[in-house]
Amino acid sequence: MDIFEEINVKGFMEEAIDPTLDLFAEIEKLKKQKNAVILAHYYQDGDIQDIADYIGDSLGLSQQAAKTDADIIVFAGVHFMAETAKILSPGKKVLLPDVKAGCSLADSCPPHLFKKFKEQYPDHLVITYVNCTAELKALSDIVCTSSNAVQIVESLPKDQKIIFGPDKNLGAYVAKKTGRDLVLWNGACMVHEIFSREKITRLKERHQGVKLLAHPECEEVILEMADYIGSTTGILKYATNSPDKEFIVATESGILHQMQKENPDKTFIPAPPNNNCACNDCPHMKRNTLEKLYLCLKNELPEVTVPEHIIKDAVKPIERMLVISAQLGL
Ligand code: 13P
Ligand code: SF4
């Protein structure tokens, strides 16, 4: 972002909004006027999920970003997601309500260090979890998400040597599921590393028979206790299709909005963290608000761009993932 863009971004974020304005109606109006589409991740605020044209996990969001015919994509998510949308639809304007919505997992893998790491394993194929920067994707052979990581690894020959990054927890889970020996980058997500095994054990004792649904970004000690492990879409589908009435959910709290909406008769208990704060909220995801979404659509800022040479290299591993996913019916 250059200095002029920064000034624009700052100026627009400070713009006052008439408190009597019906933001839902205004956003709908702007969306039609500008032929824009709103793609939202399940970790967004309930209001944002409710106004989105599509809500989904990272795989679903990438698939939507690749096929939309809108002129503008408003990405209600974090920076790497908006970048992925831009890489898949370079001709479209991609907006992110708060340009500072980053990701601790993406930050845990600086591309220049990963490049050196990769050089130590010249005969390895690089699979990267989509939660990483565009620059990192450009250094990869195949991208994956939490809903297809196992299948992507399994689609490769058994003797294929693989580096998996940046999430060590997802990587360890995939290694265990596939029986492959993966070389892991030591990255992690701050939200999924916070859950307390002791507190979950006590909760399970108090609620006999309640199932633990966990995201594979959680640490192994949590995944060992889980009754179901999957992406946000997987967790939502599992809870909806299950005859059970009560669940403990070990992932970011935003998913509870859809879970509750689709299952008003069921109870969802957020998995307790190690300390007493509201740590299952992702501070990056939660930077986006309905107000910022409105201003972003109105001013068409902040815009997320990706340098052309990065798009050229990053699009191949993402498209490879989309092709394998389509072949597998994911
Ligand atoms: P999924 O929705 O693909 O499971 O991703 C979880 C996540 O951490 C996104 O930031
Ligand atoms: Fe990144 Fe974790 Fe937030 Fe997802 S939940 S955006 S992985 S910090």
Quick one: pLDDT at residue 12?
Answer: 54
Q: Does 66 share its domain with 110?
A: no
Q: Which amino acid is located at 259 in the chain? A: M
Assess whether pLDDT exceeds 50 at residue 7: no
| Per-residue pLDDT reduced to its tens digit, 21-80 | 999 999 999 999 999 999 999 999 999 999 999 999 999 999 999 999 999 999 999 999
Range of the structural domain that residue 133 is part of = 105-189+313-328
DSSP code, position 77: S
The residues pairing with 165 across neighbouring beta strands, listed in sequence order, are 128
Instruction: Check whether residue 82 and residue 226 sit in a common domain.
Output: no
Same domain, 109 and 185: yes
Q: Looking at the domain assignment, is residue 202 inside a domain?
A: yes
Q: What's the pLDDT score for residue 320?
A: 96
pLDDT (0 to 100) of residue 13: 57
pLDDT at 15: 80
* Ligand 2 mean position, distance from CA 157 (Å): 31
Give CA–CA dist 286/43, Å, rounded: 8
Instruction: Identify the residue whose C-alpha is closest to ligand 2 atom 4.
Output: 103
Mutate to test the pocket of ligand 1, among 57, 84, 213, 281 (most ligand atoms within 8 A of CB): 57
**Per-residue pLDDT reduced to its tens digit, 212-263:** 999 999 999 999 999 999 999 999 999 999 999 999 999 999 999 999 999 9
Residue 73: what pLDDT?
Answer: 97
Residue 112 shares a structural domain with residue 184: yes
Judgement on whether residues 87 and 114 belong to the same structural domain of the protein: no
SS3 55: strand
- Residues with Cβ within 6 A of ligand 2? 43, 78, 103-105, 131, 189-191, 252, 282, 284-285
pLDDT band for position 4 (50/70/90)? very low
- Report yes or no on 227 lying in a domain: yes
pLDDT at residue 1 tops 80: no
Asked, for residue 16, whether it belongs to a domain, the answer is: no
Q: Is 10 within the bounds of a domain? A: no
Asked whether residue 9 carries a pLDDT value surpassing 70, the answer given is no
Q: State in Å, rounded, how far the first CA of the chain is from the last one.
A: 35
Tell me, yes or no, whether 5 lies in a domain. Answer: no
Q: What is the pLDDT of residues 106-133, one digit of tens each?
A: 999 999 999 999 999 999 999 999 999 9
Mutate to test the pocket of ligand 1, among 129, 231, 318 (most ligand atoms within 8 A of CB): 231
Based on the fold, state whether residues 92 and 69 are members of the same structural domain.
yes
Q: Determine the pLDDT at residue 259.
A: 98
Q: What's the rounded mean pLDDT across residues 296-316?
A: 97
Shared domain check, 161 and 109: yes
**How would you label 297-327 residue by residue, b for 16+ Cβ within 10 Å and e otherwise?**
bbbbbbbbbbeeebbeebbbbbbbbbebbee
Give residue-wise pLDDT tens across range 132-185: 999 999 999 999 999 999 999 999 999 999 999 999 999 999 999 999 999 999
Whether residue 317 sits in one domain with residue 295? no
> Residue 277 — pLDDT band, cuts 50, 70, 90?
confident
**CB-based contacts of 273, cutoff 8 Å, min separation 6:** 194, 195, 196, 199, 279, 280
**Residue located via tokens 């959680």:** 218
CB atoms near residue 122 (< 10 Å): 7
Alpha helices (H) along the chain: 3-13, 23-34, 46-51, 58-67, 79-88, 104-107, 111-119, 134-138, 149-154, 168-178, 197-206, 220-223, 232-241, 255-262, 290-299, 308-327
Listing from the earlier edge strand, what are the strands of the sheet with 162-165? 142-144, 125-129, 162-165, 183-184
Domain annotation covers residue 148: yes
Q: Please, are residues 135 and 310 in contact by the beta-carbon 8 Å criterion? A: yes
50 plus 111 within the same structural domain: no
Is residue 176 domain-shared with residue 139, that is, in the same domain? yes
Q: What is the CATH number of the domain that holds 253?
A: 3.40.50.10800
pLDDT at 10: 47
Atom of ligand 2 nearest to the CA of 103: 1
Single-letter amino acid, residue 47: D
**Taking CB atoms and a 6 Å cutoff, what residues make up the pocket around ligand 1?**
42, 57-58, 131, 145-146, 189, 215, 217, 231-232
Maximal C-alpha separation, the chain: 63
Task: Tell me, yes or no, whether 134 lies in a domain.
Answer: yes
Q: How many domains does the chain have?
A: 3
For residues 176 and 161, the answer to whether their CB atoms sit within 8 Å is no
Residues 29 and 175 in one domain: no
**13 assigned to some structural domain:** no
Q: Name the residue of 191, 217, 231 whose CB sits within 8 Å of the most ligand 2 atoms, as the mutation to test its pocket.
A: 191
| Residue 291 and residue 157 share a domain | no
